[in-house]
Amino acid sequence: MSIPDLFHVIKDPVHGVMQFSDHENRWIKPFINHPLFQRLRHIRQVGLADLIFPGAVYTRFNHSLGCCYVGSQIANKIGLSMEDKQLVVLACLLHDIGHGPFSHAFENVFSDKFIRHEEWTPYALQQFSQPEFLAAFNHSNPDYPLSYEKLIAIEQMIMHRYTDNRLLADIVSSQLDADRLDYLLRDSHFCGVKYGEFDLRWMLHCLAPVSTDQGWRLGVTKKGMSVVEHYLVARWLMIRNIYHHDKKIAAEYLLATFLTELAKHILEADFLLPYRETTLGQLLIRIHAFNRSFQSKKIERTDIEAFLAENFELYKQLCDFHILVLMAELAQLTLKHDVVELAKRIHDRHMPKTLSLHPEQTDSVQKMIIDMMERSVYDISPWQLQVIRTPRLCYAGERDPIWVQESSGKARKIQEHSMLVQSLSNQYEQACLLLVDQAIINRPEVKKLIDFI
């Protein structure tokens, strides 16, 4: 009588019962138990979306487990070897290990989002290349040991640089990757909307290795075209209605401005003295210096690498709590200062009024704001009256197409089969907003600006 396979089960509100084989469990457990991964429990998945969708308080930890599970399911479906499956499962698990507080929202602290969360990933993965960690992992996994070379492959998959096997890389990072297949369903569920729903089980059934002029890629059979169409429309609706929701954009703009102003004034304002030596304070001081360098000279790749290497130890200690506690303390002050005012706005959820602009209006509105600031008798800070542009793209059909395997075995881009996908392919939508702080909304000049819109 054969011995039945052993499974480790995680209950999940999105996927139900997530089963991991005994091998998979022994692969992922050492990483999950590491403090660097546990930190993801305290980083919200969708930034400040919970100010609009109260259920959106779940974390990168939840999503990383879900992504790992979906990656495992894809690997099973397309018949990967155990060695390849191990790389994919671990890369999916660790793909968000470089995120900072409030996920993508923290990236706005850097000028022009010059440093994104992926940039921190190699430094995070170095934590797992320590001899002690590798020795303990390999003791538990003698059949599938982990090497420094495997960690480099995992890093390259996460960083979109893995060219040895594009099929494996596609599972981790592509337009059909495990990341998107999980986060659309997860974000839709916790935000309490239906926009992101699609038939994941049928999608998994239809996924297949497809032979293209670029080598083997992850694609779908002809039967999977409709679910991919549904999936792409779901992604488009989630971008428009959740990720780029007016109030979410406004809240995260205030958060980035709060942190930027805090970094700017922390060394000079006496009321900020208690925060100078904190982990967050020290990192913000260094970010401010980096941003000033960015404005005064061309930043080279070596400058970025030096900043990342010097500051990862600070960065890896931060999570949402550090900012929330600081914000709560500053919001209690009666001092008239931009840092305090911004803390109050976010902490008390006093969101600005958001007005949609047509892209053709933005330059005129921006000029009116500049003129108003120059001649106004009112004391108005730039963050109280701001134009925000948010370009969005659902499907990059030429740069990174989704492949369909025809019954003949030939592969074509899905937009060659689908009018719906063709209409979405490479189409940027420019959403433009005017943010008006509620404290100045009744001032005559501001009313005149709003009436113009």
378-408, pLDDT tens digit by residue? 789 999 999 999 989 999 988 899 999 988 8
CA dihedral of residues 138, 142, 148, 152 (deg, nearest 10) = -110
Two structure tokens written together for 440: 């100045």
What radius of gyration, in Å, describes the C-alpha atoms of the chain? 24
Two structure tokens written together for 285: 């001081």
Cα separation of 414 and 405, whole Å? Answer: 9
Higher pLDDT, 409 or 436: 436
pLDDT for res 2: 47
Question: Each residue of 414-423: pLDDT tens digit?
Answer: 999 999 999 9
Cα separation of 100 and 119, whole Å? Answer: 11
- Region 7-245+395-427: CATH code: 1.10.3210.10
Q: Would you kindly state where each structural domain of the chain is located, as residue ranges?
A: 7-245+395-427
Question: Each residue of 106-125: pLDDT tens digit?
Answer: 999 998 878 999 999 999 99
Candidates 161, 153, 156, 185; CA nearest to 70 is: 185
pLDDT for res 5: 62
